[in-house]
Amino acid sequence: MSGEIICMGSINMDLVMSMNRMPEPGETIITNNFNKYPGGKGGNQAVAASVMGGKVKFFGKLGDDNFSGQLIKSLADNKVDVSSIIIEKKDSAGIAMIRVDEKGQNSISFNPGANAKLSPKDVRKNEDLFTPGGILLITMEIKPETVYAAIRVAKKKGMFIILDPSPVPKDNIPLDISPLVDIVKPNKIEASFITDIKVNDFVSSKKAIKKLLNMGFSYPVITLGAKGVIACLEEEIIKIDPISVKVVDCTAAGDVFSGAFAASIYRGKKLSDALEFANAAATLSVTVPGAQSSIPALEKVTVFLKENKKKS
């Protein structure tokens, strides 16, 4: 790709507690730990794409509170261009409260803060950020109408578009949007909502892939967690097997996948190789707690992927 990666989505501060199990309704569980991590799907993907070798700019909104300042510094420290972040006065960063059980599964509650105020008008006022030959990597943790405005502008400008449809919007994705998206990357739960097909194995995920193709998406990719990845690239269904590791925390695995995938495409890799690389990056991320803190270095992913190819 000849242009940079523009990331759009939420930037949050993640407040995390680990425990043996999730509390039942009305139950209090005492833990001996608490950690604070920069997160948010947009922020996670931006850092992952940057760490994996992409030139990344973030476009979004934050507040003027302390958390917002910390989040901007964290992005900048990871070489993400933060010059296009709009500061909303008297507002706050997004806050995610995360519980993680002993199996690495998580439960998340989220307040978007200033993230929710990024509007289609902001997109139109900043059209010059969208440049031919670049990549738009965008998630649904901001207003759907803002996401769709950005996709329309990006495609008009000749950008390659990667949509992570998380969380799935309440209303159907507009009919004109899916043909504009190059890569749509839901996980199995999101794919089930979008396609009305219960995705739980290879057969059902293959049906969902075909439904996404019929909806107009060029290259659908479904991440299946411990069952790997399935995609349709150049009219061929491919499956990438999972890599076995000890799971510590799954919080940002999908975001690491998306960021690594975008960075690999940015670096000129073909789509099938980019998927393998992203799968390896996401796998490594679940072995470390936290969101952005779990993003592995480019060199580590490269070595890990080579080692596992030798074993297979």
Question: Is residue 120 domain-resident?
Answer: yes
Residue 15 in any domain: the answer is: yes
Query: 295-311, pLDDT tens digit by residue?
Result: 999 999 999 988 887 66
Q: Given this model, what pLDDT does residue 243 score?
A: 86
User: How far are the Cα atoms of 17, 129, 134, 159, 262 from residue 6, in angstroms, in the given order?
Assistant: 31, 8, 8, 10, 10
For residues 159 and 229, what is the distance between their CA atoms, to the nearest angstrom?
25
The pLDDT value recorded for residue 249 is 77
As a whole number of angstroms, the distance between CA 58 and CA 225 comes to 27
Q: How many domains does the chain have?
A: 1
pLDDT tens digits, 196-221: 999 998 899 999 999 999 999 999 99
Q: What is the mean pLDDT of the chain?
A: 93
As a whole number, mean pLDDT of residues 134-147 equals 97
Q: Is 255 a known active-site residue?
A: yes
Structural domain contains residue 49: yes
Residue 287 lies in a domain: yes
Per-residue model confidence (pLDDT) at position 250: 79
Residue 47 has pLDDT above 80, yes or no: yes
Beta-sheet strand order (sheet of 135-139): 56-58, 5-8, 135-139, 160-164, 183-184, 219-223, 229-233, 236-240
| Residue 3 φ/ψ, nearest 5 degrees | -115, 175
Reported as a single tens digit per residue, the pLDDT across 76-132 is 999 999 999 999 999 999 998 989 898 878 888 889 999 999 999 999 999 999 999
98 in a domain, yes or no?
yes
Residue 294 has pLDDT above 90, yes or no: no
CA 296 to chain centre: 15
Percent residues over pLDDT 70 in the chain: 98
Q: Does some domain include residue 90? A: yes
**Options 14, 164, 249, 255, the catalytic residue:** 255
The rounded distance, in Å, linking the Cα atoms of 59 and 57 is 7
Q: By C-alpha distance, which of 248, 172, 242 is closest to 211? A: 172
Specify if 28 maps to a domain: no
List, for residues 225-282, the tens digit of each pLDDT value. Answer: 888 999 999 889 999 988 888 888 777 899 999 999 999 999 999 999 999 999 999 9
Find the CATH number of the domain harbouring 120: 3.40.1190.20
Token look-up 């992203």 returns 278
| Within a domain: 99 | yes
Structural domain of 252? 5-22+33-311
pLDDT grade for 1, boundaries at 50, 70 and 90: low
Return the pLDDT at 312: 58
pLDDT of 75 strictly over 90: yes
* Distance in angstroms (rounded) separating the CA atoms of residues 282 and 71: 22
The yes-or-no verdict on residue 288 having pLDDT over 80 is yes
pLDDT above 90: residue 49: yes
Q: Quickly tell me which residue has 């190819």 as its tokens.
A: 309
Number of other residues whose CB lies within 10 A of the CB of residue 230: 23
Q: Per-residue pLDDT averaged across 182-206, rounded? A: 95
The predicted pLDDT at position 131 comes to 95
Tell me the average pLDDT across 168-183. 95
Number of Cβ atoms within 10 Å of the Cβ of 204: 17
